Homo-oligomer: A and B are copies of this chain.
């Protein structure tokens, strides 16, 4: 079975299963990521209170940890939920928003990577590079690029932490220490809307809920999300109308369209 066929099957399985995706995430993108999850066929839930995160994650198909507007208490909730997810075999997807921009963000990611068995990290070039001990430049939460190319950065990270690393950019790369996928779907307008990175992380989590080969799940998710972005860009007049069309296209994306349009290698 070729990669496009597999990606199409994953999307079909996602639509069939409707997995619950538990998000402990930032305040900027809660609504947007919830809508992206609904559109792709998953059920989103946002829950971050310490007394309920373990119980909530027990029903989930995947757990998203996103440090975009972290506080110490939120990171505690992430650790609690993550340990329960690990115990139950629920995949944990980390979005290290702004790692490297402040010591607090870097330390939070290091703590999560040390205390939890993270399945997949999805970040931009600088975030992943900095966490891998390589050079990267970050301005707020925006990557100004890494010193090395993304394939090397992802492979290094994956080898160090024993998890899948997915770096999104002009071409997305996914590495698990052995294999390397490159996904060339997407559109430049995605970089002009806040939260598309965070949305891509939730897409990865949704696919990981139904596809246990996490490296491939990440690649398939990024192909699906990027393809929806390409379709949304057609006729968009700017970032606002593109953003709206992105939801429409995620919801309209069929396994057949993904089979025809996925560019994974």
Contacts and interface: CB of A to CB of B under 8 A. Distances in A.
Interface of A: 20, 22, 26-32, 34-35, 38-39, 43-49, 51-52, 55-56, 59-60, 68-72, 98, 101-105, 139-142, 192-195, 237-241, 243-249, 251-252
Given A49-B104, A194-B31, A43 B142 contact: yes
Contacts of A246: 240
Contact of A140 (B20, B68, B104): B20
A239 B20 contact: no
B102 A193 contact: no
Contacts of A70: 49
B34 A194 contact: yes
A44 to B, nearest CB: 7
Nearest to A55: B102
A59 B20 contact: no
B248 A59 contact: no
26 contacts: A20-B139, A28-B30, A28-B34, A31-B32, A35-B243, A38-B193, A38-B239, A44-B140, A45-B101, A46-B68, A49-B69, A49-B71, A51-B72, A52-B103, A52-B105, A55-B104, A59-B140, A237-B248, A237-B252, A238-B251, A240-B243, A240-B251, A241-B244, A241-B245, A243-B244, A244-B244
How many copies the complex holds: the figure is 3
B247 A243 contact: yes
Contacts of A22: 140
A139 B59 contact: yes
Given A48-B69, A237-B248, 15 more contacts: A28-B46, A39-B238, A39-B239, A43-B142, A45-B101, A47-B102, A51-B72, A52-B104, A55-B102, A55-B104, A60-B140, A238-B248, A239-B251, A240-B244, A244-B244
Nearest to A192: B38
Nearest to A238: B248
Contacts of A56: 101-102, 140
B69 A46 contact: yes
Contacts of A69: 30, 46-49
A31 B34 contact: no
A144 to B, nearest CB: 10
Contact of A28 (B31, B39, B194): B31
